[in-house]
Structure 1
Amino acid sequence: MVRHEIPAGPAARPRAARPTRGGAVDSRRLPRYAAGEIAVPFVIATAAEAIDRDTFWEEHSHPTHELLWNERGASWARIGGRVWTVTPTAGLWIPAGAPHSGWAPAGTLHRAAQFGIHAVPPLADRPTAVATTPLLRLLLDRLDSEGLDAPARSRTEAMVLDLLAPAERELTLRIPESPLLAPIVAAVRGNPADTTTLAAWAARLGVSTRTITRAFHAETGAGFSRWVATARVQHAMALLAGGEEIDEVAARVGYHSASAFGAAFRRITGVSPGRFRAR
C-alpha cells in the first residue's frame, strides 16, 4: 500500500483528552502552514481514520489543498464564520493555507486527501462544497490500494482531478458574531431542541423582534427562523448518519413531528431525511 506522510494530517498525535459532558474528547493541536510552505512528493495522498471518540482539531492549516469527506457519519469544519457539514456524499475542498478547525463525533469514518499545489490547481480559491460521488470515492480509494504502479496511479489521479467539481448545494451555517446574537447562537448550537421563539428572545434581550431579524439578515443572510432551522438540520445530519431513527432525531432537534422535521430538512438540504440516511 502506497503511503505518504501528510503534513498536519488527521492522524497527527492528539493532545491529552479533555473531559466533557459526553466523556473524553480528543483535542488535537496541529501546525499552521502557508500554502506550499513544505514541498510534498505526491500529487494526491489519501488517509483514513476511524474516530473512536469525539474528536476536535484545533485551528490549523496545510501546505497542500485538502478534500474532506466521510465514509461513515457526519462531521463539521469551521472556516472563518462558517460551519460546513461533511458527509459521505458532501465533501469539502479547503485551499492550501486556509485556517480551519474540525469536529467529528465518535463512530465517524473520516477520510481526507491532500493535493500537492505544485501539480494540482485549486478547485477554488475559497472553501467549496464538493459532491463526493460513488465514482469519485472509488477512485480515491484506488489511490490507497496496494500494487498500484506509477502509470496506473497517474491515470487515476487524472480522473480524480477531472471529477472534482463544486456541489450544487453548500451545507453551511454562518455563525453571527455580534454580542446581541451570541446568547441565541449559544443556546441553539448547544441544544438544537431549544424552542425559544423570536418574541421570547426579544423580550429576554430587551430589544424588538425586528432588531433581531435585521441582525440575523445582516450577519448571515437569513432570518431567525431560517438560521435556527439550518442549525437544527446540521445537527440532525450527524444523528441520521449515525443510524438514529427519524422520529427520534426530529424530537432531538426540536420538532414535534417527523413530517415537520422532514419538510425543514428538505428545504435546507434538497433531500428527505430518509434519503439522506440511505445515501
Structure 2
Amino acid sequence: MPTIRPFRSKTARVATASERTLPSYTAGQVEMPLRIIGSQEAMEHETYWSEHSHPTHELLWREAGVGTVTIDQRTWTITPPLGMWIPAGVRHSGWTPAGVVVYAAQFSLDNPLVSDRPTAIAITPLLRLLLDRLQHTDPGTSSYSLTEAMILDVMTPADNELLLHMPSNPLIAPIANAIIEGPADASSLQDWARKLGISGRTITRAFEAETGLGFGRWATTARVQHAVSMISLGGEVDEAAAGVGYRSVSAFTTAFKRITGTTPGQFRPSAN
C-alpha cells in the first residue's frame, strides 16, 4: 500500500489529483430552505478544495477512509469515528483521497450551535444512523423534522481530536516539514539540535510557544495523524507502525492511545 500524505504540498500532488475552487460566503449570506441539508459524493480522484467558506454551519464525516480540513495553520483529520464541525463563515480548505465517499450536512443558522469554533465531532453509531436516515427521508415531512431534531440532540464534540498545528516559525518549520514528509524518520530532539546548531531547549520552547505542544508531543501527534490515514484507508496496524517509525506495534499502540484516546484498530474501516 502506498504511503498516504495528506499534508503533501501542491508540487508533490499526483497527476490524477483534482483541485476545486468554491466561493467564500459570510455567515447567513444565503438562506436555507431546511434546517439541515445532507449530501454525499464519491471521489473518483484525489481531491483538494481551495480555501472557501459557507453561509451555513457544516458537518463533514466519512463512513470509511479519511480526509483533512485545514484552517490557518491547523489541520484536522476526518475519520469514521471523527467528523468535523465548521461554523458558518470560517475559511477552510480540504483534502480527500480517491475512492472515499465525502458526506456533508449544512446546518441553518437558526439551529443551536454545536460549537462556535471548528470542532471534532463524535460520529457515534446513532448519529451515523440519523444522518443516513435524513438523506433518505422526504423534506417537509414530520419524519424529516423529527430526524433533524434528533441529530441536533445527539451531536456532541468528540473527547479527542486529530489536530495538528503546523508552526510557521522559521526556526522550527524545517523540523515540522521534515516530519510531515518523512514520518518514519525517528530523529530525536537532540538529533535536530545538532543538525540545526541550536539547543534542544530552544526547539522545545519554540514548539510550545507556537503550537502549545513540546517537540516530542508534536512529533508523535504528526506521526499518529499520518498512521490514522494509512489505517483508515485499509492499511494494517503493523504496516502503519513501521511507516511512522515505530519498531514495535506495542510501542506504537501506546503512543497512539496517548494521542487519540483509543486503539489503532478503532480506525479500521471494518470497525465502524
Is 2:171 aligned against 1:180?
yes
Quick check: 2:69–2:93 contact (8 Å CA) kept in 1?
Answer: yes
Aligned to 1:170: 161
Contact 2:23 2:52 survives alignment (8 Å): yes
Aligned partner (choices 187, 195, 219) of residue 186 of structure 2:
195
Other-structure match for 2:226: 235
* Corresponding position of 1:12: none
* 1:196, distance to aligned residue in structure 2 (A): 2.1
Residue aligning to 2:252: 261
Once the two structures are superposed, the pairs formed by residues 16-55 of structure 1 within 5 Å of their partners are 20=12, 22-55=14-47
Q: Deviation string for 1:176-212 (max 9, x for gaps)?
A: 1111111011111112112222122112222111100
Q: Distance in 2 between matches of 1:122 and 1:211?
A: 40
Contact 1:240–1:249 (8 Å) recurs in 2: yes
Identify unmatched segments of 5+ residues in structure 1: 1-17
- Alpha-carbon distance in 1 for matches of 2:37, 2:113: 15
Equivalence for 1:58: 50
TM-score where L is the length of structure 2: 0.91
For residues 59-84 of structure 1, give each alpha carbon's deviation from its aligned partner in whole angstroms, at most 9, with x where no partner exists. Answer: 11000000011111111111122111
- Tell me: higher relative CO, structure 1 or 2? Use CA pairs within 8 A at least 6 residues apart: 2
Secondary structure in 1 matching 2:228 = helix
Give the Å deviation of 1:146.
5.0
For residue 71 of structure 1, give the secondary structure of its aligned residue in structure 2: coil
Q: What percent identity do the matched residue pairs reach?
A: 54
Kindly report which structure 2 residues correspond to 1:68-87, keeping only aligned pairs within 5 A, or say none: 68-87=60-79
Secondary structure at the aligned position of 2:170 is classed as: coil
- Using the alignment, how far apart are the partners of 2:11 and 2:17 within structure 1? 6
Task: Please name the residue that 1:140 is paired with.
Answer: 131
Contact 2:56 2:87 in 1 (8 A): yes
Which residue does 2:263 correspond to in 1?
Answer: 272
Is contact 2:112–2:152 with CA below 8 Å preserved after alignment?
no
Deviation at 1:107, TM superposition (A): 2.4
Aligned residues: 261
Matched position secondary structure for 1:37: coil
From 97, 100, 104, the counterpart of 2:96? 104
Whether the 8 Å CA contact 2:67–2:97 is kept in 1: the answer is yes
* 1:223 maps to 2:214: yes
Is residue 237–residue 249 contact of structure 2 (8 Å, CA) maintained in 1? yes
In the alignment, the residues of structure 2 paired with residue 271 and residue 169 of structure 1 have an alpha-carbon distance, to the nearest angstrom, of: 9
In the alignment, what sits opposite 2:87? 95
Q: Is the 8 A contact 1:59 1:101 kept in 2?
A: yes
Q: Is the 8 A contact 2:80 2:267 kept in 1?
A: no
